[in-house]
Chains A and B, each alone.
Chain A
Amino acid sequence: MSPSVPLQEMIRAIRSARTQCEERGVIQRECAAIRAQFRQADNGGRSHNLAKLLYVHMLGYPAHFGQMECVRMIASPRYSEKRVGYLGAMMLLDEKQDASLLITNSIKNDLSNSNQYIQSLALCTLACMGSAEMCRDLAPEIDRLLRASNSYIKKKAALCAVHIVRKVHDLGELFTKAARSLLTEKNHGVVHGAVVLITELCERNSETLERFRKTVPDLVQIMKGLVISGYSPDHDVAGISDPFLQVRILRLLRILGRNNEAASDAMNDLLAQVATNTDSTKTVGNAVLYETVLTVLDIKSESGLRVLAVNILGRFLLNNDRNIRYIAMTSLQKIVGTDHNAVQRHRGTIVDCLKDQDASVKRRALELSLALVSASNIRSMMKELLSFLSSCPPELRSQTASGIFNAAERYAPSQRWHIDTILHVLTTAGGDVRDETVPNLIQLITNTSELHCYTVHKLYRALLSDISQQPLVQVACWCIGEYGDLLLTGECQETEPVQVTEDYVLDVLETVLQSHMSSPSTRGFALTATMKLSTRITENVDRIRSIVSIYGSCIDVELQQRAVEYNALFKKYDHMRAAVLERMPVIEKNSQGHTNGETIKESQTVKVKPGEPQQPANQVQANAAFYTVFSIVATVTVYEKDGVTVTLSCEKQSDSGLTVTLTASNSTESDIRGFTLQAAVPKSVQLHMKAPSGDSLPARGTAKLKTRADMSEVYETKVSPVTS
């Protein structure tokens, strides 16, 4: 067995290993030696062996066999062994390990040790990895130490109490009194610990918070002392006296002043003083100013103070230090809702930060810019945002695109601007937009009937230059299908018209159909568009017919189905073709959950049996049936069995609903009594059935029962992805 080497030699050996394999070899040998040593009785080198094991653990190798050794060493009377043993406990043990329970007793004993350094080891370990049971067990001991010991122990006991309160909330009650008295101590470490403990107690319990509000004057006093005191070498950092304590006190004041006028008043002067007197040339000063600003903005401060705080943030925005700019934006983000105008004043600087090199700063600037968009600045902001979109890092593109869409929807100064903006985004970042962009855009286009010509021209041109951006291609195909006739007239008021022939237009659609860049759903769009053109063009219908029949044997099942149905439309149902393919009606403007033009269009080609309840997947098709099929066919027989016939006819059709009449007749030889008609509709439709004219059906069709029913579409809040 190789002799174990001292700690530092082992570290040297590991570091000089040239390969992973060599390193593993050294470590395995050492671990074997350490294991052997652990098994032996007490020997002088125990702490060194454990230290070696801890080093190995830091490198990522397994070290669980050292857990029991930690337990043993913690129980040792030697300080050196306790020191390493407790360190090992903090590194290797956590509350999930069984061994951690075994050290509870040692900790308990060590907490009462006469030597403060041994006490401190126990406190530290308890605060680091103490489980809930250990905390409950030892809490009274900690409380005792909070009161009756020296400053060194008091400050450690305070933070240990913080850990206990975090683990077992109820124990907070136990420490309230002691925490209060610790505030009056002189030692900064103790006061700091007390402030942290009080903060923790107040955050957990609102009653405790009420009680501690009384300490606001004391806290203000302490702060004042720190701010105006002269140089204190012990606690000075770049001219600021104990910034760590200052920041902690400010944070506690924030919690105490929140939603409370009196407390906020009491701290007003202090905050103003800190805000104006703190030196902001170094990070440490800015750290204190930052905390002050956060406090001012969160409590019920008077308006003058608020303005001061926002101005500090504005100054931060202009700071050369990137970190300061970053946190300025984070803070402004928090108040952009409440102090919108104040933040607007700094809009220019914020927008400039969009061009910063740093990715974190860019992200913050983006979020803040989007929050600052309003009706008055929409045009200039959008320019900036669009230019940002073309150069921003890829991980921010999707967020930018959806932010732009939201802003455009809320503040678009004109329809044309809106459409232009969306098209711009689709050309720049088409791959990063969300799925519902396509149906939303289509809806927007249909609703803007005066711009149909303009839109289709723009989209046609876009398609000519680039067919790789799928959302753009999908919308373009849809538009060409719908408004292709406007393209062919060669006239357009809003923009330069194109001079195209029907062949050119069909060429473009065919290119999309055949391109390997087109996704299956895009090709579906293209095929349907081609089909729609059959009623909008005059000369090349045959070409369309042949395209459609080719795709009748396409491998893609969706395309195949479409092609076959369109073929049928040409052959058997040619009389219906014009009506089926006519212009889409203006869609009711509504937020999510709305079926889009394309899906309604889609289901026109499916032979629907109207009136029968359909499964959710076919809801859309049922809707389509209501809107389109009923306008074509006057009366439909929906039920015919055992001599009872029920027909359904459409009486009134509007954008919001449909009224139908159900007529029942009886052709049997005997009367039917107690006849009730029940109808079911899919979830997306609401049905109101009026009372029928009677409940008996006389024989031989001498009279009929009529029931009127109103149906309207119900818009759901969620929608499953809409396919073309």
Chain B
Amino acid sequence: TPLTDREKKKVIRDMMMLVLARPPRSCNFLQWRDLKIVYKRWYASLYFCAGLEDKDNELLALEVLHRYVELLDKYFGNVCELDIIFNFEKAYFILDEFLMGGEILETSKLAVGVSMEEADTLQEEEKEQEEVGKTDKERFACGRGLRE
């Protein structure tokens, strides 16, 4: 059953407090309500957290978090926090090529990279085609909004 917006916010807040309170060099697992929380600290101020059910493998979850960071790194080239913040939608798209519905979707790093490339290309090509199809007037009028 889906949670309400308020419940979601509370979950995020509660979990954040728990994870941020952990001293350094402690175990990466903690128990919260009926979930096991696995977290990994990256880049001093960035945390990746996952909530697992009882039957899930915690050590594998650590590998999943690790893999996701690797995917981000490959895509952005030496990823840093700002990359994720300013391109959050890309971070989500990458996540959607790696996991789905809470399960691992693709186990090959390469395959995820290829999918992202192709999808981005599709987007670029579409934009180009639209540019070609426009009149000069339209192009200049929309130009400001399209510029990133």
Question: Chain A: residues with CB nearer than 8 A to chain B?
Answer: 3-4, 6-8, 11, 15, 43-45, 48, 51, 54-55, 58, 60, 62, 78-80, 83-84, 87, 94-96, 115, 117, 123-124, 127-129, 152, 155-156, 159-160, 162-163, 188-189, 192-193, 196, 233-235, 237, 242-245, 247-248, 251, 283-284, 286-287, 290-291, 294, 322-327, 357-361, 363
Contacts and interface: CB of A to CB of B under 8 A. Distances in A.
Given A322-B26, A360-B26, 13 more contacts: A43-B145, A51-B89, A83-B119, A87-B93, A96-B4, A128-B101, A159-B105, A162-B103, A189-B106, A244-B60, A323-B62, A324-B59, A327-B58
What 10 pairs between A and B have smallest CB-CB spacing? A287-B59, A45-B145, A94-B2, A127-B101, A44-B142, A163-B101, A287-B60, A159-B100, A322-B27, A189-B106
6 contacts: A6-B147, A11-B85, A55-B88, A83-B89, A244-B64, A287-B60
A115 B105 CA distance: 19
Given A117-B118, A323-B58, A43 B142 contact: yes
Given A45-B142, A160-B101, A326-B29, A283 B63 contact: yes
A284 B64 CA distance: 10
Contact of A44 (B103, B111, B115, B146): B146
Interface string B50-72: 00000101111011100100000
Q: Which of B89, B110, B111 has the largest number of chain A CB atoms within 10 A?
A: B89
A83 B142 contact: no
Contacts of B127: 80
A256 to B, nearest CB: 15
Contacts of A8: 86, 148
Given A60-B9, A80-B123, A327-B58, A192 B28 contact: no
Given A127-B101, A323-B59, A192 B107 contact: yes
B92 interface: yes
Interface residues on chain B, size class: 35 or more
B100 A127 contact: yes
Given A7-B148, A189-B111, A234-B110, A287 B63 contact: yes
Contact of A291 (B27, B60, B89): B60
Chain B contact residues, majority secondary structure: helix
B89 A54 contact: yes
A358 B27 contact: yes
Contacts of A287: 57, 59-60, 62-63
Contact of A234 (B25, B105, B111): B111
B49 interface: no
Contact of A326 (B27, B100, B123, B142): B27
B144 to A, nearest CB: 8
Interface in B1-46: 2, 4-5, 9, 25-31
A244 B107 CA distance: 7
Contacts of B78: none
Contacts of B55: 251
Contacts of B57: 247, 251, 287, 290-291, 294
A4 B144 CA distance: 10
A705 to B, nearest CB: 64
Given A6-B148, A95-B2, A96-B2, A188 B108 contact: yes
Interface string B120-139: 00110011001000000000
Contacts of A237: 63, 67
A286 B59 contact: yes
Q: Which of A15, A51, A83 has the largest number of chain B CB atoms within 10 A?
A: A83
A83 B123 contact: yes
A215 B75 CA distance: 38
A363 B29 CA distance: 12
A98 B29 CA distance: 38
A376 B9 CA distance: 51
Nearest to B108: A234
Contacts, number: 158
Nearest to A232: B108
A79 B122 contact: yes
A78 B107 CA distance: 29
A367 to B, nearest CB: 11
Nearest to A245: B107
Interface of B: 2, 4-5, 9, 25-31, 55, 57-60, 62-64, 67, 85-86, 88-89, 92-93, 96, 100-101, 103-111, 115, 118-119, 122-123, 126-127, 130, 142, 144-148
B106 to A, nearest CB: 4
Contacts of B26: 322, 357-360
Nearest to A100: B2
Contact of A360 (B31, B89, B130): B31
B86 A196 contact: no
Contacts of A294: 57
B129 to A, nearest CB: 10
Contact of A152 (B2, B110, B115, B122): B115
Given A79-B126, A95-B2, A283-B63, A192 B104 contact: yes
Nearest to A95: B2
B60 A247 contact: yes
Nearest to A164: B101
B96 to A, nearest CB: 5
Contacts of A235: 107-108
B89 A84 contact: yes
Given A96-B2, A323-B58, A360-B31, A4 B63 contact: no
A45 B60 contact: no
Nearest to B115: A152
A533 B59 CA distance: 64
Contacts of A129: 2
A322 B25 CA distance: 9
Nearest to A240: B63
A568 B101 CA distance: 75
A40 to B, nearest CB: 11
Given A44-B146, A360-B31, A124 B108 contact: no
Given A6-B148, A115-B122, A327-B58, A87 B9 contact: no
Contacts of A4: 145
A79 B122 CA distance: 8
B107 A189 contact: yes
A71 B31 CA distance: 38
Contacts of A58: 88
Contacts of A84: 89
Given A84-B89, A247-B60, A323-B59, A124 B31 contact: no
A96 B112 CA distance: 32
Contacts of B9: 60
A87 B115 CA distance: 17
Nearest to B31: A360
A260 B71 CA distance: 40
B101 A244 contact: no
A407 to B, nearest CB: 23
Contacts of B2: 94-96, 129
B88 A327 contact: no
Contacts of A127: 100-101
Nearest to B55: A251
Contact of A124 (B25, B100, B146): B100
Contacts of A156: 100, 105
Contacts of B92: 87
B63 A284 contact: yes
B4 to A, nearest CB: 8
A196 B103 contact: yes
Contacts of A283: 59, 62-63
A163 B100 CA distance: 9
Contacts of A326: 27, 29
A233 B110 CA distance: 9
Given A44-B146, A235-B108, A244-B60, A117 B122 contact: yes
Nearest to A54: B89
